[in-house]
């Protein structure tokens, strides 16, 4: 009787133990592939993928774990791209300082936008972020330091810490990979901290969270600023990879792209936005020389995702029989 009573619990423990071991194996394999990627794939393509994967993961921090849909994340991504590009080219700062300035600038923009937007919820929150993002876009169009429609061109990569020459593509790739891994680690730690637990409770039932005595507006603002800062990290990195910052980075279409990446991969999952970014960036790269419009393909992909994969690709896998058997859960 005692053995029969403990069998389900033991089986569940074994399942989650297997899932933990499987995750470790997957992480090791993925890390190995990323380390070897520049020797088999075009490094610039992989660096672009990593930048957008970090951007999508930062956006998912707000949407997936707090429940707020922002149409203004291009402001943080593109704003940091401009800040980094300008300071590195015009002020001559080192690349790590330029990226840091971009992150701080994106966080400041996030603080200003968040103070205004978090007072509303749902579609009102989304429309406020879109309106503020468009205001920043038109500022970039007319401002002198952003060079208008030409953008900031010929941004030097410089030397990391004054020692490592980032003009070497291999050096630049491993720098991007290191920043990407650090960014994802920060998001993982943030989500699985007590702060992250409170954000999930706000997403599920904000009124109950208020009744427990939490100042939810402060937590929502903190999540918004953190998401903005990490999006800025991706934007600043991208400006160094390509050597320019343009209006493309601050358009509302860029905000739409990161939403698509997150929805495609799976909201509320750690790896989902990375998978979604990989698919979208790959499609854009492969169809760049095609006569068929890329936007139509991405639109069809979005429609298929909404109709067939409501939880996103990774979310559907977690919810599938195989995913449950392996011990995965919809939220990681």
Instruction: Output the pLDDT for position 307.
Output: 79
2 pLDDT tier (thresholds 50, 70, 90): very low
Q: What H or E segment, with its residue span, contains residue 261? A: helix 252-265
Spatial separation of the C-alpha atoms in residues 236 and 77, rounded to whole Å: 7
* Cα separation, 280 vs 285, whole angstroms: 9
pLDDT in tens, 275-323: 888 888 888 888 777 777 777 877 787 788 777 777 777 777 777 776 6
Number of other residues whose CB lies within 10 A of the CB of residue 259: 22
Show the CA angle centred on residue 243, arms to residues 238 and 246, nearest 5°: 75
DSSP state, residue 91: I
Among the residues of 41-193, which ranges form H helices? 43-66, 73-86, 95-117, 122-142, 169-191
Predicted confidence (pLDDT) at residue 4 exceeds the cutoff of 50: no
Beta bridge partners of 160: 164
Q: What is the pLDDT of residues 169-223, one digit of tens each?
A: 889 999 999 999 999 999 989 888 888 888 888 888 888 888 888 888 888 899 9
The average pLDDT across 9-28 equals 63
Four-residue CA torsion sign, 311, 316, 321, 326? negative
Which pLDDT value is given to residue 122?
A: 81
pLDDT for the residue numbered 328: 66
SS3 68: coil
CB 103 within 8 A of CB 229: yes
What does the mean pLDDT of the chain come to? 84
Split at pLDDT 50, 70, 90, the class of 155 is: confident
Q: Considering only 15-19, 120-124, 295-299, which range has the smallest mean pLDDT? A: 15-19
Nearest alpha-carbon partner for 52 in 206, 293, 263, 254: 254
Whether residue 195 contacts residue 220, with contact meaning beta carbons closer than 8 Å, is answered with: no
pLDDT at site 7: 54
Strands 159-160, 164-165: parallel, antiparallel or unpaired by DSSP? antiparallel
Partners of 152 in beta bridges = 245
Of 111, 65, 92, 54, nearest in space to 236 by CA: 54
pLDDT over threshold 50, residue 165? yes
pLDDT above 70 as % of the chain: 90
Which backbone phi and psi does 66 adopt, to 5 degrees? -120, -25
Top pLDDT among 20 and 127 is at 127
- Give the CA radius of gyration of the chain: 21
Residues 6+ apart with CB under 8 A from 104: 229
pLDDT more than 90, % of the chain? 34
Average pLDDT over residues 6-25: 59
237 pLDDT more than 50: yes
Would you say 68 and 206 are in contact if contact means Cβ atoms under 8 Å apart? no
148 pLDDT more than 90:
no
pLDDT higher than 90, residue 163: no
Query: What does the DSSP assignment read for 6-49?
Result: HHHHHHHHHHHHHHHHHHHHHHHHHHHHHHHGGGTS-HHHHHHH
Instruction: Kindly indicate the confidence band of residue 331, based on its pLDDT and cuts at 50, 70 and 90.
Output: low
Specify the higher pLDDT residue, 73 or 265: 73
Mean pLDDT of 251-256: 88
The larger pLDDT score, comparing residue 130 to residue 148, is at 130
Say whether 95 sits in a helix, a strand or coil. helix
Q: What angle do CA 174, 160, 155 make, to 5 degrees?
A: 95
Tell me the pLDDT band of 1, cut-offs 50, 70 and 90: very low
Bridge partners for 159 per DSSP:
165
């Amino acid at each position: 009787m005692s053995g029969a009573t403990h069998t389900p619990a033991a089986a569940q423990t074994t399942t989650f133990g297997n899932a933990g071991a499987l995750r470790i194996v997957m992480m090791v394999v993925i890390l190995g592939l990323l380390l070897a990627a520049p020797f088999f794939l075009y490094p610039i393509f992989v660096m672009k993928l990593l930048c957008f994967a970090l951007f999508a993961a930062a956006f998912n921090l707000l949407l997936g774990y707090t429940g707020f849909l922002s149409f203004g994340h291009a402001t943080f991504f593109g704003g940091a791209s401009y800040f980094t590009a300008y300071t590195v080219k015009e002020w001559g700062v080192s690349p790590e300082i330029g990226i840091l300035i971009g992150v701080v600038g994106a966080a400041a923009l996030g603080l200003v936008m968040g103070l205004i937007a978090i007072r509303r919820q749902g579609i009102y929150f989304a429309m406020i972020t879109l309106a503020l993002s468009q205001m920043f876009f038109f500022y970039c169009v007319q401002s002198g330091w952003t060079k208008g429609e030409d953008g900031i061109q010929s941004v030097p990569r410089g030397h990391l810490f004054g020692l490592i020459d980032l003009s070497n593509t291999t050096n630049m790739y491993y720098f991007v990979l290191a920043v990407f891994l650090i960014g994802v680690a920060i998001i993982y730690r943030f989500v699985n901290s007590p702060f992250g637990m409170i954000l999930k409770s706000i997403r599920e039932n904000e009124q109950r969270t208020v009744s427990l005595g939490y100042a939810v507006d402060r937590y929502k603002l903190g999540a918004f600023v953190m998401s903005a800062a990490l999006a800025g990290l991706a934007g600043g990195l991208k400006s160094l990879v390509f050597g320019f910052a343009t209006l493309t980075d601050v358009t509302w279409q860029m905000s739409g792209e990161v939403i698509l990446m997150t929805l495609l991969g799976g909201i509320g999952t750690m790896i989902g936005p990375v998978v979604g970014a990989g698919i979208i960036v790959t499609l854009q790269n492969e169809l760049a020389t095609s006569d068929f419009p890329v936007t139509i393909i991405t639109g069809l992909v979005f429609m298929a995702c909404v109709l067939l994969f409501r939880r996103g690709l990774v979310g559907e896998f977690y919810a599938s029989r195989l995913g449950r058997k392996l011990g995965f859960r919809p939220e990681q």
